[in-house]
Structure 1
Amino acid sequence: MTDLQLPPAGSLDGVVVLDLSRVLAGPYAAQMLGDLGATVIKVENPRDPDVSRGFPPYLTDGDEEFSAYYGQYNRGKLGVALDLAAPEGPEVLKDLVRKADILIENFRPGTMQKLGVGWEVLREVNPKLVYTAISGYGQTGSRSRRPAFDNTAQAASGLWSMTGYEGQPPVRVGVTIGDLSATLFAVVGTLAALRHAERTGEGQLVDVAQVDSTLALTETAVVDYTVTGNVPKPAGNAHAWVRPYELFDCADGQVFFGAYTDKLWRASCDLFGSPELADDPEIDTMRKRFDPAVYERRVKPVVAQWLASRTKAELEELAGDVIPLTAIKNIGEVVDDPGTAERDMIVTADYGSLGELRMFGQPIKLSATPANPARRANRMAEHAEQVLEQFAGYDAERIAKLREGGVLP
């Protein structure tokens, strides 16, 4: 029998989360809650488990392999496999819901209703339940039933149209920002709804859409359009109007230089041996340096000259403590950076014969109830008996009958 791997007491100690979601947005939201102390139960379809179990890279031991992708986003969860399409499947889920505080799913709207376990049904089972539904376009509106992936959100939110270089086709953001933004908004909404439920006894539906979430990350684009009619276009590595605030070449790569305020500009002039530029009447104020023509003619060439002959390390040593000047690092450099270790942002989980998995840690640092991210993920249906005994009150005979009926694998 496998240990339950219950997390140590944390901020969400005692909170029970049913995670029916797949791939990224939902699993990551549930993982965040688990890192913060909640008990998270991963519920998968035995006929169609979470597809991310097949995503690379893999920890391997001979013929055995385990997805590191799955491991990073499902760490610390308890594993149950449950066929909701089987006759008794919905009743088993309802029994788990009775002791749950939160349920997270990211199916296309209408899927859970077809299975007989939608929000309207489960709220009758547990009136305090916080039901978090993450989808592409949300639970309402004419587009709600459309299939969606991360790129759908990047395209439909306008974000894709703003990314890349002027005069060239738009470029998607290099990570799945549609999923990741939905994750973060889902966690915020879930915790807000949980506080309400604990105070009043009233659960609610938390409806989070990838498209909505990504739109909310487009910074000034919406008000730019509504106020001025301007439609933002790709600007490469430059900011739309803040200057200097972009990538510059240096002797061994690139750095970000962002000393755009008057105070930071004056400090830069002093650091790089050009104090007279701070009082140059053409570029002595932020508003003047923001002018595109002035910036291209006077400011950008100066900054480029300051940086070109120095290495990333030399530049950070010279100016990194005074102005926003940061080496542009690859992931290997980030993982091996002592500063990353100082913040506990690389943690290790032990997978026995498969080896150890190093993955990103938990960025939320709590002084009294620290997070616990360094845990391994569940194997398929790993904790079925223990979860059904502890959270549904089933005995061995009941569990055996469910297996015979195909509800459990």
Structure 2
Amino acid sequence: MIDETLRIRLAELGRHDPTPGALAGVVVIDITRVVAGPYCSMLLADLGATVVKIEHPDDPDYARTFPPQLEGEAGTVSGFFAQFNRNKLGATLNLRHPGGRALLERLVASADVLVENFRPGTMDRLGLGYERLREVNPRLVYAALSGFGQTGPSRGKPAYDNSAQATGGLWSMNGPADGEPTRVGTIIGDLAASLYGAIGVLAAIRHAERTGEGQLVDISQQDSVMTLTENAVVNHLATGAVARPLGNAHPFVRPYELFSCADGYVFFGGYTDKFWRISCDIFGGPGEYEAHPELHAMADRFDADVYRERAKPLVDGWFAHRTKAELEELAGDAVPLSAIKDIAEVVADPHIAARDMVVETEYPGIGTLGTFGSPVKLGATPPRTRGEAPAIGAHTDAVLDALLGMPASELAALRADGTIS
């Protein structure tokens, strides 16, 4: 880890909050693009690590072109890019250039973590794979995020988020009952890989602190998605059953799904005996529970026929003429019922505001950008969520000076030969 003086100096480069975070002093070299990788390193940056995002001088992260674009007199910034690259320092480096490869090795010698999301084999062909970089820095934590991982027969296949959803099983399970499979409506493969990547990096850092030994953190999007399929894997291995799309229903827990109401939809999960009794009293009124003894036992409500013919029509009747707000007020803290909210409603939710989950960052000369906050709430070292994403190469000179003590003459030579910009 870098010393305290250098940590503060690096933090000040990007006008970041110099208050130490939980990962203060950890230096991360980030050579990732788009989401699976940038989100991983962003999580580390939020937690206080000094993250240096390295981009090719002539071929930067193309997520910078993604919408929405916030425009002002000082230029343009992509909200998509900014959301996944906040709190990072920006540097340029041409890894196809011999001088660029040598310079990355020098940076790695001063770093704790490197995160990359190239297809397996790419870094090896550049002479910068894990085996080489561990020679440069034996305590390096090298995180490689890819579609199918560093080993196995599919390791060389190109992959996107949809590839992971397709091969990890999730796509086959999602969608309307008796309908065609439907992809999950977000890049869950990218996001899951980044989350597991951050967990792996944190574990490897802890090991390196104890032993001085780094390691490879190998994260596959396919692996990550497979773990999000709930009981599908164990159920298949135990019984041979193959999960299929169920729409908004649960495989066996009932009632536990979407229900229509007067102005939209709610999720209602009153499936336990306790919640069922309370729900009957709240939504049906006095005598409702006693009037339906065939629904008293949870096992009976789980029966598909009983649920379809008796329990679901009852719940439908409770909700049909009430609004989302009325139903949430009736449910209160007594039973699990939540309005199904669109993003506008989520952003306006006072509870979301109370949890600091919508944050604003000022980009001078451009405007204010709102993004999601951090779900990680730490009492002593809270995440920093309002840092800017860097412009291309915004901190190249300062980072090379701070980490390598590089004089202006060497910087000028590197710029002249195209190693940096």
TM range, normalised to the smaller chain? over 0.9
Match of 1:335 in 2: 347
Aligned position for 1:95: 106
Aligned: 1:193 with 2:204: yes
Q: Deviations over 1:156-185 (max 9, x none)?
A: 011100000122211000000000110111
Distance (Å, rounded) in 2 between the aligned partners of 1:3 and 1:44 = 16
SS in 1 for 2:335: coil
Cα distance in 2 between the residues matched to 1:309 and 1:4? 53
Specify the alignment match of 2:92 in structure 1. 81
- Unaligned 5+ residue runs, structure 1? none
1:303 equivalent in structure 2: 315
The CA RMSD measured in Å over matched residues stands at: 1.3
**For 2:181, what is the secondary structure of its paired residue?**
coil
> After superposition, what is the alpha-carbon deviation per residue over 1:60-92, rounded to whole angstroms, capped at 9, x for unaligned?
125932100000000010000100111201111
TM-score, scaled relative to structure 2: 0.95
Residue from 45, 50, 55 that aligns with 2:56: 45
Structure-2 residue corresponding to 1:399: 411
Report the Cα offset of residue 231 of structure 1.
0.5
Q: Secondary structure at the match of 2:294?
A: coil
1:268 matched residue in structure 2? 279
Superposed CA offset, 1:286-312 (max 9, x none): 111000000000100010111111111
| 2:119 is the counterpart of 1:119 | no
2:378 paired with 1:366: yes
TM-superposition CA deviations, 1:255-295 (whole Å, max 9, x none): 00011001110110111134545343311111110000000
Which runs of structure 1 show a deviation greater than 6 angstroms over 4 or more consecutive aligned residues?
none
Residue 215 (1) aligns with residue 226 (2):
yes
In the alignment, is residue 319 of structure 1 matched against residue 331 of structure 2? yes
2:80 pairs with 63, 69, 79, which one? 69
Conservation of the 8 A alpha-carbon contact between 1:4 and 1:383: no
Measure how far apart 1:355 and its partner are. Answer: 0.5
**Cα distance per residue 1:179-217 (max 9 Å; x no partner):** 011011111111000000000000000000000000011
**Structure 1 position 405, deviation (Å):** 1.2
In the alignment, is the contact (CA less than 8 A) between 1:7 and 1:39 conserved in 2? no
- 1:252 aligned to which of 263, 278, 297: 263
- Unmatched runs of 5 consecutive residues or more in structure 2: 1-11
1:174 pairs with 2:185:
yes
**CA 1:7 to 1:243, structure 2 compared with 1: closer, same or farther past 3 Å?**
farther
Amino acid at match of 1:105: E
CA distances 1:22-47 after superposition (whole Å, capped 9, x unpaired) = 00010001000010110000011112
Contact 1:277/1:283, CA 8 A, preserved across alignment = no
Q: Percent identity?
A: 55
Structure 1 SS opposite 2:295: coil
Count, aligned residues: 409
Deviation sequence 1:204-257 (CA, Å, 0-9, x none): 000000000000110000011111111011000111111000111111110000
CA deviation profile, 1:320-358 (whole Å, cap 9, x unmatched): 311110000010111111111100000111101210001
In the alignment, is residue 202 of structure 1 matched against residue 213 of structure 2? Answer: yes
Q: Is the 8 A contact 2:138 2:212 kept in 1?
A: yes
Quick check: 1:7–1:76 contact (8 Å CA) kept in 2? Answer: no
1:8 corresponds to 2:19: yes
Whether the aligned pair in 2 keeps the contact of 1:320 and 1:326 (CA below 8 Å) is no
Give SS of 2:402's match: helix
Partners of 1:71 and 1:118 lie apart in 2 by: 28
Distance across 1 between alignment mates of 2:286 and 2:214: 61
**3-state SS, counterpart of residue 326 of structure 1:** strand
Structure 1: distance between partners of 2:373 and 2:181 = 32
8 Å contact 2:162–2:183 — kept in the other structure?
yes
2:395 aligns with 383
Q: Show the counterpart of 2:4.
A: none
AA in 2 matched with 1:317: E
